[in-house]
Amino acid sequence: MGLVTLEEVMKIHDGAVGAFSTYDLYSAQGIINAAEEKGLPVIAMIGSPVLNKLGNEELGEIMVNLAKKSSAPVCVFLDHSKDLATCIKAIRLGFSAVMIDGSHLSLEENIEVTNKVTEVARGVGVSVEAELGALAGIEDGEEVKNAKMTDPTHVDKFLSSTDVDALAVSIGNAHGLYKGEPKLDFERLQKIADIANVPLVLHGGTGLTVEQFAKGVSMGIKKINIGTEVKKTYIDAFIETSKVNPAAHDMVGIPLACKDAVKEMVKDKLEFFARGYKELL
Ligand SMILES: [Zn+2]
């Protein structure tokens, strides 16, 4: 199958597609190998602040190359770009989808910056995700202090003034780890879903319950972002494996263990978002 756009990857099955943050070769391989072993589509994301770190353009190229060679459908996705320049960088690297996050701006400014990105992306067949309402928490080192839930009355205006493939919503979901039990405003999600003519995206998937995932998918969520759980799974595997024989400094075995741990986590999520959720409805 290889590299596919966000628009295409969300049409492959009737569940939601897992989107996982990528930080290096091993996390990229773990995420893509999971999709291959499951025979399911996946979205491999890299955050805008991460892609903009020195040397990480090569990681973007690696992600695109792995996707092209994959037997599974893989969307390579730029997560949370606040500017056109980073979107253009990702498009030049061969990414098949970008997110322009104008959620911190006014509705009019968000529409304006989103349209600048879609104008470029449309011309080269790249999908675009936008966001309405800002999420609390820290995403790849960037903190959002003024979270606001998506205002359903803004949805029609935003979607009729833009040409996006997916819309990220803020319904009580947050980046990073939740403090206490996460609460999602499903009434708000339903109102948004009734108006929206594009698939919806749920960020901040780490720590949500299977029941919340199932309900969200049944209401129109087609993409679920998982970032923190990738980092935690990887680092926990690194620490545990290195403890076995610390003096070995096993630069072959330890990263492979990290890759396998990420792969197993991603396989479970892909399966649940695609099929398993139906058992809870
Ligand atoms: Zn996010």
Give the per-residue pLDDT at 144.
72
Catalytic, out of 79, 101, 140, 165: 79
Give the per-residue pLDDT at 186.
97
Amino acid code (one letter) for 226:
I
Those residues whose beta carbon sits under 5 angstroms from the ion ligand 1 are: 203
Ligand 1 centroid distance, CA of 140 (Å): 9
Q: Phi, psi (5° rounding) for residue 45?
A: -110, 150
Q: Which long-range contacts (CB under 8 A, 24 or more apart) does 247-255 make?
A: 255/26
Ligand 1 centroid distance, CA of 223 (Å): 11
What DSSP line would sit under 58-108, residue for residue?
HHHHHHHHHHHH-SSEEEEEEEEE-SHHHHHHHHHHT-SEEEE--TTS-HH
What DSSP line would sit under 46-57, residue for residue?
EEHHHHTSTTHH
Ligand 1 centroid distance, CA of 224 (Å): 9
Ligand 1 centroid distance, CA of 132 (Å): 12
Give the per-residue pLDDT at 210.
97
Give the per-residue pLDDT at 188.
97
Between the CA of residue 98 and those of 75, 80, 102, 259, what are the distances in Å?
10, 8, 13, 25
Give the per-residue pLDDT at 145.
67
Pairing of strands 142-144, 137-139: antiparallel
* Distance between CA atoms of residues 26 and 235, nearest Å: 12
Ligand 1 centroid distance, CA of 123 (Å): 25
Q: Is 79 a catalytic residue?
A: yes
Let me know: does 31 contact 20? Beta carbons within 8 Å. Answer: yes
Give the per-residue pLDDT at 142.
72
Overall number of domains in the chain: 1
CATH number at residue 209: 3.20.20.70
Angle between helical axes of 186-195 and 152-161 (0-180°, round to 10): 30
Domain with 91 in it:
2-280
Ligand 1 centroid distance, CA of 265 (Å): 19
Ligand 1 centroid distance, CA of 252 (Å): 31
Let me know: does 188 contact 220? Beta carbons within 8 Å. Answer: no
Whole-prediction pTM: 0.97
Let me know: does 47 contact 79? Beta carbons within 8 Å. Answer: yes
| pLDDT, tens digit only, all 281 positions of the chain | 899 999 999 999 999 999 999 999 999 999 999 999 999 999 999 999 999 999 999 999 999 999 999 999 999 999 999 999 999 999 999 999 999 999 999 999 999 999 999 999 999 999 999 999 988 887 777 777 667 899 999 999 999 999 999 999 999 999 999 988 899 999 999 999 999 999 999 999 999 999 999 999 999 999 999 999 999 999 999 999 999 999 999 999 999 999 999 999 999 999 999 999 999 99
